[in-house]
Structure formats: structure tokens, C-alpha cells
């Protein structure tokens, strides 16, 4: 059995180095390049030993990394030009090493070729590709796994039997030739496959880090990172972060890089592929894709094949499941297209899986919020280009607090799909699991709580003491529920003053100190900005708020009659008062396009846990109507529903009124939403809707989706549509009346407390 060292070299210097290495390590073995041998004519028993030269950057500050200076002088220390290689060998011999890939016989390579490659593909090209990939893996042992990058991707995908079989099947369906579909799909692969470069990866990390490192200090969940590193040895990780800022990806990349993770391949929209950002980001691992490609089956084939390759080769993936940055601070509805492709890839590969990593990224302050709030109020979005990038970079020179990266419980995509059943609904269940985990992991910031307090039942200014009083029960609740809350010191005394000062400096709040006490209020026109901060933590208080509304309905004997919500069947086994269960499920149905709720049984279970905090001992069954009312009175000052849910029911009121007023007139969705913006502003000025932040296209859009879901937008019967509209409007008015009742309870108790303090 003979052996040949197959040299994967670019220059004469590299060839000389491989020969010298082979003389030491494999005496008597011939060294050849792929071009110098006839692969097909070799004895099948001949063993091929791939080898290549690895070039390393010089040591700078204890690390071998490329510096910006290298790029300025047009030098790539990882791939130095031929004329510099000899000097590098002489002056820095530790910077050049020969590595050996895993050897394989010609017969073994032939078996793999028959199994993996499409008919007609060159065996010699296949051997060369396998040798290069084997040498690449050996190189990773030297440079580190954080530099794990996919090579020869388009070649591996387009030459595979699986890809060409899928192309032939699609060609038949389209009535085209297999060769034309294969070529088009291969060409489209070339438009989005990330051609990663270690040089650019280093430069991208160091250069674009300036877009955030002066603005935020970054903290991460170190315990979960250790768990993820162990999981990454067995399968690819799919990071699905919340999306709030353009720098989300940079911050997550920095955290992973600092903890020795290989770089993620990041799926992003083509709108960010402008020069010079696009070419640089692409070579650093960004996959720029069309926002919509459902009508292009060949593009879908190329994308599905690429994602399957990524899963099979265990590269880590990242995309933003919301499809775009949040305009309200809450999570947006998940987009299922890319998740479907990854799910297909996992199910098509019997021995592969992907671990889903729900990821939360939140900021103490975010300068982008003002622009997003303007868009939500009907403004136009500024297009991303070089001018925009420079302006954005200049805006990051001010320190804006902390950026927190937290991870939800990672889970197996294969297992989650199996548990979710069949049909499209299973992807919805998996995506809701992702969103629920993101919400659970999302930390509550002091700025979120400040927004919660100031966007209160009354649109007025508050003293620091009043704000502290509002926040005290919130902090108690956060502690009782073991929620990821802020440092309580930032919500009391001098710490609270610092928090308010930060928001004032950011022009979210305004302050007045010309009287006996300093007071703070929402700056004019910035209610939506303050709401963005509040909404980032709001989901933690929604179930408690639903419990309060349900209890009030029971206390007042005001259970809504009529057809229940689609899944509103009370479950006595939970022990919760049956009428309160019914109301809770109805409220959940009204808010299902605003928040992510678990399945009914889990939802009721969580409500029971909330009742344990509100009324300990209620499970004994002794809590009657009067008892419920007493509990609400006792909890005055600790009721969250008004501040949590007022905005959303105000937005629903506007859309419901507009649809009722339309009558038989037909208008498309965009026109209706534009009308709602006008009506919302009017009702806000008139004081009909107390929450100024409810005047939002995003909120009206969610309300419109709810109306459509309830048959209140259109249908075969005009009478049925109008009935659905009026029924919905009546339910919304009922919920708003309950919120007013809760506010009255709060005001009554506050007045009584103040009177007692005065008497004393």
C-alpha cells in the first residue's frame, strides 16, 4: 500500500515547507499537488495524506489577532503574499506551521464520492475538496475553534446528490429542465452564501465593536454560556435573539467571541447589504437574504439547501425570529419561514439536531427608540445607507448604561417538533416556546420600572417619593416571583434619582424643580419612547393583571355574558374560582396578539400561582364574592392592571370604534390603520383614551389582527360582521371600565391613607 502527501499549497514557499515537513514526518513518501497526479489512475489502496501551511498573526497583547494596521498596509497575516512568506519564515518561524489532515485511501474516497456526489461530478474535484476540508479541520486545531468557518460551501452543496435530486424534482414541477434549475439555484446560492474570512472576522470584531463599546457596558449569563459550550460539541446552536437594535448582532458576537464560541452565521435582511457594510459583514459571516421570497421556488430551494448544509456541518446559526426590530419594546410576532427550513433540515438528517437558544438582549437606554416611535406613529423609516451608518456611529459616543445578554432554556428542535404534533401549528408551538423563553429570560431594568411608574393612571408629574411608593410593591413582586429584576437600589433614594436623571438626560423625561419639590413627567411627545422602556418588562406583570381583572369581575358580579372565547372552558381542577377562570381566558383571548401566552392548562396553572401571592389560602375554597372584594381593597397600592393593560385596551377601543363606524363601507387595512391614527390622536386630546402611548400603528395593527380573527373585519354576512364588531367593542369598553374601577379603588385607599397620616 503506497502513500502520497497531497499538498494544499498556494506558493513555492509553502510547497517547500510541506516537502521539508514530509521528509521529517513521512520519510520516503512522495509529495504532490492535486494537479500533479491522476487520481483515477491511482491504486485504490493508495493513502492520501492532506497537508497545508498555516500562517499565524504575530502576538499582540498576548493574542494572535489581526490588527487594523494589517489591513491598512494591505497585508493579511493569515494569508501573506508569496513575496513576504520567506521573510516571515526567517524572522518569525513560530508564525508558520504545517498541519496534516485525516488520511484516506483512494478506495474510501471513492465510496464517499458514490454516496454523496451527483452523477457526472468530477472525482478529482471531489478528492481535492475533501482534502482541503480535512486540512481545514486540522488548521482549526492550531488557530482555535472560534475561527471555525465554512469553506467551499457552494461547491459542496451544488455538487451533492441531494441538491441535484431536489433541483430535478423542482424542475419537473415547474416544467423546466433539471440543468437550468440546478444552474439557477447554484447562482442564487452565490448571492447569499457567507464567504467568511478570518482576516475580516478579526477586523469586523475589532472595528465595529466601536459602534457599541463606548455606549454600553455588556453583561452576559455566564452559567448558561458554559452549558451552551458543552451542547455545541454535539450539535449546532441556533441563537434566536430578541431584536431591539442594529447592534444586537455585534453585542452577541462579542459575548460569544470572548467565551470561545465559533462565530455564528447570521441571517440578515438585504436592506443592510449596502457598501461598505455589506461586503465586510458578508465576509464576517452575515448571510444577506431577501425579506420575502415565497414566490421564488428556486430561491427557496437554494436557501433550504444552504440551511441544511449548516445544520449538517454543525455551524452555529443566528437570526431574529421577529423579522425586524421591536417598535414597541414588546416582542413582535414570530416569523416562521426560516424556522420551517431549519426544521426540514433537522428532520431530513436522521443523526443531526439543532439546539434552539432563546436569547434576550436589552438596554438601559437605546437612542434608536425615538426614530422607531416616530415610525409607529405614522412616520417614514429612514433608509439604511452609508450616510445613515456614519450618523448612527456618531450617535454611539455617549454612554447609555448596560446592555444585558441573557439566555432562555435551550431545547432540542427535534424533540420540540415531536412534542408539537403535526401540521403548521407545530411550528407555531415551537416559536411560542421560543418567545416564552425569551420573555422569561428578559431582565427588568430600572428604566423599565421608571417608565411603568410615570405612564400611570394619570398623565401628570410625580415626585421621587411618589415614584418610589409606586415601585415598592413592584420590587416586592419581583422578589416574590424570583424574576430577573434590577438592583433595588436603583429604584430607591439616591439610586432612583440617578435612574430618573439618566432618562432626563436622554430627553425621555422632563423635570421641574422651581417649587417646593422636584418633579418628573414624560417629556412632551415622548410617551411612546417611555412606553418602549416600560414594555420591555411588561410581560412579567400581565398574568398578575389578568388575575386582578378576573377578581374584580367576580367581586362586582360583572362576568361578561355571551359566547366564551374560543378556548374559554374553565377547569375546576385548578381550584381557581370558575367565573374568574372564564374571565381570565376571555381576557387572554383579547390580548393574544399582544402577548405570548402558554397553552390553556399551563396558563391556568400560572394564574393559580399568581393567586397564591394575591390571596394565600384561596385554594381552601373559602374565598367568596365579598372575600374577593376585600382582597382587592387590601391590595390597593399593589394593583398592576391599570398601568399594565390600559394602553392595549385603549388601542383596541380606537380600532373597534373605527370598524363599527365604517358600517358597510369597505376600506383596506392600511387605510383603516391610517384612519385609526387620526382617531386615536383625537380621542387622546379629548381625554377619552388616557394613554398617549396607545396612539401607535403597531398597536392598531395588532388590534386589527384581533378583529380579523374574531370575524369583525369581513365575512359573507354583513350582519354577522357588524355583530362581531359591536360585541368586541362592548368587551373592550367593559375591560376599560374595570381598569377605571381599579384606579378608583387605588385612589380611595390612597385618600384614606393620607387622611389617617394627617390625623396622626
pLDDT value at position 75? 60
The strand pair at 265-269 and 411-412 is best described as unpaired
For residue 63, what is the enclosing H or E element? strand 63-64
Q: Is the pLDDT of residue 383 over 70?
A: no
Residue-level pLDDT at 716: 87
Residue 152 clears pLDDT 50, i.e. is over it: yes
Percent of the chain with pLDDT over 70: 86
Highest mean pLDDT among 68-82, 286-300, 635-649: 635-649
What is the tens place of the pLDDT at every residue in 171-184?
999 999 999 999 99
What is the C-alpha to C-alpha distance for residues 505 and 680, in angstroms, rounded to an integer?
29
Q: How confident is the model over 356-367, as a mean pLDDT?
A: 92
pLDDT over threshold 80, residue 374: no
pLDDT for res 613: 86
Average pLDDT over residues 199-204: 64
Name the least confident of 238-247, 267-276, 359-368, 506-515: 267-276
pLDDT band at 6 (very low <50, low <70, confident <90, very high): very high
Residues 703-716 have pLDDT tens digits of 999 999 999 998 88
Phi, psi of 455 (to 5 degrees): -90, 65
570 against 719, higher pLDDT: 719
For residue 400, the SS3 value is: coil
Q: Which of 92-106, 151-165, 254-268, 388-402 shows the lowest mean pLDDT across its residues?
A: 388-402
Q: Is the pLDDT of residue 250 over 80?
A: yes
In the predicted structure, residue 167 carries a pLDDT above the cut 90: yes
- Is the pLDDT confidence value at 571 over 60? no
421 vs 539, residue with greater confidence: 539
Confidence of residue 348 (pLDDT cuts 50, 70, 90): confident
Q: What is the structure's pLDDT at 412? A: 95
Instruction: Determine the Cα–Cα distance for residues 556 and 745; give it in Å rounded to an integer.
Output: 13
- Report the range out of 71-75, 128-132, 222-226, 727-731 with the highest average pLDDT: 727-731
Closest CA to 224 of 251, 245, 255, 197: 255
Q: What is d(CA 310, CA 303) in angstroms, rounded to the nearest whole number?
A: 11
Q: What is the pLDDT of residue 313?
A: 83
On the question of pLDDT at 677 being above 60, the answer is yes
pLDDT at 591: 97
Band the pLDDT of 21: cuts 50, 70, 90. very high
**Which whole number is the average pLDDT over 423-434?**
90
User: Per-residue pLDDT tens for 307-331?
Assistant: 888 888 888 999 999 988 898 899 9
Beta bridge partners of 428: none
What pLDDT shows up at residue 457?
A: 60
Contact residues for 273 (Cβ-Cβ < 8 A; gap 6+): 281, 282, 288
Q: Average pLDDT of 731-738?
A: 96
66-70, 413-417, 657-661: least confidently modelled range: 66-70
Could you tell me where the DSSP H helices lie in 638-717?
641-662, 669-686, 697-709
| Alpha-carbon distance values, 485 to 10, 125, 540, 545, 645 (Å) | 56, 57, 10, 18, 20
Residue 89 to residues 51, 211, 735: CA-CA distances in angstroms?
18, 37, 77
Give per-residue burial for 95-106: e unless 16+ CB within 10 Å, then b. bbbbbbbebbbb
632 neighbors 638 (Cβ within 8 angstroms): no
Write out pLDDT tens, residues 35-77: 888 888 889 899 999 999 998 888 776 677 666 555 444 467 7
pLDDT reported for residue 721: 96
Return the number of other C-beta atoms located less than 10 Å from residue 65's C-beta.
19
Q: What is the C-alpha separation between 242 and 760, in angstroms, rounded?
A: 51
Is the pLDDT at 80 greater than 70, yes or no?
yes
Instruction: Judge whether residue 83 has pLDDT over 90.
Output: no
Q: Is the pLDDT of residue 208 over 80?
A: no
Instruction: Name the one residue in this structure whose C-alpha cell is 509553502.
Output: 14
65-74, 359-368, 618-627: lowest mean pLDDT where? 65-74
Q: What is the share, in percent, of the chain residues with pLDDT greater than 90?
A: 48
Segment 669-685 shows an average pLDDT of 96
Q: Reply yes or no on whether the pLDDT at 518 is more than 70.
A: yes
Q: How confident is the model at residue 568 (pLDDT cuts 50, 70, 90)?
A: very low
pLDDT at residue 624 is higher than 80: no
Supply 31's cell numbers: 509529495
Q: What is the mean pLDDT of residues 443-456?
A: 92
d(CA 342, CA 346): 6
Mean per-residue pLDDT, 2-31: 92
Residue with the larger pLDDT of the pair 38 and 734:
734
Give phi and psi for 526, each to the nearest 5: -110, 20
pLDDT band at 443 (very low <50, low <70, confident <90, very high): very high
Considering the chain, what is the average pLDDT of its residues? 85
**pLDDT score of 622:** 66
Alpha helices in 196-354 (DSSP H): 198-207, 222-231, 248-258, 277-283, 297-312, 337-348
Amino acid at each position: 500500500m503506497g502513500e502520497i502527501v497531497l499538498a494544499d499549497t498556494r506558493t513555492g514557499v509553502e510547497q517547500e515547507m510541506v516537502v521539508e515537513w514530509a521528509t521529517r514526518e513521512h520519510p520516503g513518501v512522495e509529495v504532490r499537488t492535486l494537479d500533479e497526479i491522476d487520481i483515477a489512475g491511482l491504486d485504490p489502496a493508495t493513502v492520501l495524506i492532506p497537508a497545508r501551511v498555516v500562517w499565524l498573526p504575530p502576538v499582540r497583547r498576548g493574542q494572535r489577532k489581526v490588527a487594523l494596521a494589517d489591513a491598512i498596509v494591505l497585508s493579511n497575516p493569515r494569508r501573506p503574499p508569496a513575496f513576504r512568506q520567506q521573510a516571515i519564515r526567517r524572522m518569525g518561524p513560530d508564525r508558520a506551521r504545517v498541519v496534516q489532515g485525516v488520511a484516506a485511501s483512494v478506495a474510501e474516497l471513492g465510496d464517499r464520492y458514490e454516496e454523496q456526489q451527483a452523477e457526472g461530478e468530477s472525482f478529482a474535484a471531489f478528492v481535492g475538496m475533501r482534502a482541503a476540508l480535512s486540512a481545514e479541520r486540522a488548521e482549526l486545531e492550531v488557530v482555535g475553534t472560534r475561527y471555525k468557518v465554512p469553506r467551499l460551501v457552494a461547491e459542496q452543496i451544488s455538487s451533492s446528490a441531494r441538491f441535484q435530486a431536489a433541483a430535478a424534482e423542482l424542475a419537473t414541477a415547474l416544467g423546466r429542465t433539471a440543468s437550468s434549475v440546478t444552474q439557477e439555484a447554484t447562482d442564487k446560492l452565490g448571492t447569499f452564501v457567507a464567504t467568511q474570512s478570518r482576516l475580516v472576522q478579526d477586523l469586523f470584531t475589532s472595528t465595529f465593536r466601536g459602534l457599541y463599546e463606548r455606549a454600553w457596558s455588556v453583561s452576559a449569563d455566564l452559567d448558561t454560556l458554559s452549558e451552551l459550550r458543552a451542547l455545541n460539541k454535539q450539535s449546532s446552536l441556533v441563537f434566536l435573539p430578541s431584536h431591539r437594535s442594529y447592534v444586537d448582532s455585534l453585542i452577541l458576537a462579542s459575548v460569544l467571541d470572548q467565551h470561545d464560541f465559533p462565530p455564528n452565521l447570521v441571517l440578515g435582511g438585504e436592506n443592510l447589504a449596502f457598501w461598505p457594510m455589506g461586503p465586510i459583514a458578508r465576509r464576517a459571516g452575515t448571510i444577506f437574504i431577501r425579506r420575502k421570497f415565497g414566490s421564488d421556488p428556486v430561491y427557496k430551494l437554494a436557501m433550504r439547501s444552504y440551511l441544511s448544509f449548516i445544520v449538517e456541518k454543525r455551524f452555529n446559526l443566528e437570526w431574529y425570529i421577529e423579522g425586524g426590530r421591536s417598535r414597541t419594546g414588546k416582542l413582535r410576532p414570530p416569523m416562521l419561514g426560516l424556522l420551517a427550513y431549519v426544521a426540514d433540515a433537522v428532520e431530513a438528517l436522521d443523526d443531526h439536531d439543532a439546539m434552539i437558544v432563546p436569547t434576550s438582549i436589552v438596554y438601559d437606554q437605546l437612542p434608536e427608540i425615538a426614530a422607531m416611535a416616530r415610525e409607529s406613529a405614522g412616520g417614514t423609516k429612514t433608509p439604511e445607507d452609508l450616510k445613515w451608518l456614519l450618523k448612527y456611529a456618531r450617535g454611539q459616543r455617549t454612554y447609555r448604561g448596560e446592555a444585558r445578554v441573557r439566555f432562555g432554556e435551550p431545547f432540542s428542535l427535534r424533540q420540540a417538533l415531536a412534542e408539537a404534533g403535526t401540521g403548521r401549528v407545530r411550528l407555531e408551538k415551537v416559536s411560542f416556546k421560543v418567545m416564552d423563553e425569551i420573555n422569561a429570560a428578559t431582565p427588568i431594568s430600572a428604566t423599565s420600572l421608571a417608565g411603568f411608574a410615570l405612564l400611570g393612571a394619570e398623565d401628570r408629574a410625580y415626585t421621587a417619593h411618589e415614584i418610589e411608593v409606586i415601585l415598592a410593591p413592584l420590587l416586592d413582586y419581583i422578589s416574590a416571583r424570583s424574576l430577573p429584576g434590577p438592583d433595588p437600589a436603583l429604584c430607591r433614594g439616591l439610586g432612583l434619582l440617578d435612574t430618573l436623571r439618566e432618562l432626563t438626560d436622554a430627553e425621555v423625561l422632563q423635570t421641574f424643580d422651581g417649587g417646593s419639590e422636584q418633579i418628573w413627567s414624560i417629556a412632551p411627545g415622548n410617551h411612546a419612547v417611555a412606553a418602549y422602556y416600560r414594555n420591555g418588562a411588561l410581560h412579567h406583570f400581565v398574568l398578575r393583571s389578568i388575575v386582578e381583572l378576573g377578581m374584580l369581575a367576580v367581586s362586582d358580579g360583572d362576568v361578561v355574558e355571551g359566547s366564551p372565547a374560543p378556548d374559554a372552558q374553565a377547569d375546576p381542577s385548578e381550584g381557581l374560582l370558575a367565573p374568574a377562570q372564564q374571565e381570565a381566558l376571555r381576557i387572554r383571548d383579547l390580548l393574544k396578539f399582544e402577548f405570548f401566552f402558554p397553552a390553556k392548562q399551563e396558563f391556568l396553572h400560572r394564574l393559580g400561582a399568581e393567586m397564591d401571592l394575591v390571596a394565600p389560602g384561596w385554594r381552601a375554597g373559602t374565598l367568596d364574592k365579598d372575600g374577593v372584594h376585600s382582597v382587592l381593597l387590601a391590595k390597593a397600592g399593589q394593583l398592576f392592571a391599570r398601568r399594565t393593560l390600559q394602553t392595549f385596551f385603549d388601542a383596541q377601543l380606537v380600532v373597534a370604534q373605527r370598524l363599527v363606524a365604517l358600517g358597510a363601507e369597505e376600506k383596506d387595512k392600511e387605510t383603516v390603520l391610517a384612519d385609526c391614527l387620526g382617531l386615536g390622536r383625537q380621542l387622546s386630546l379629548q381625554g377619552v383614551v388616557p394613554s398617549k402611548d396607545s396612539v401607535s400603528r403597531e398597536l392598531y395593527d395588532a388590534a386589527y389582527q384581533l378583529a380579523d380573527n374574531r370575524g369583525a373585519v369581513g365575512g359573507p354576512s354583513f350582519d354577522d360582521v357588524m355583530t362581531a364588531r359591536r360585541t368586541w367593542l362592548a368587551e373592550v369598553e367593559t375591560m376599560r371600565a374595570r381598569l377605571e374601577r381599579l384606579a378608583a379603588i387605588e385612589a380611595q385607599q390612597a385618600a384614606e391613607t393620607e387622611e389617617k397620616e394627617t390625623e396622626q
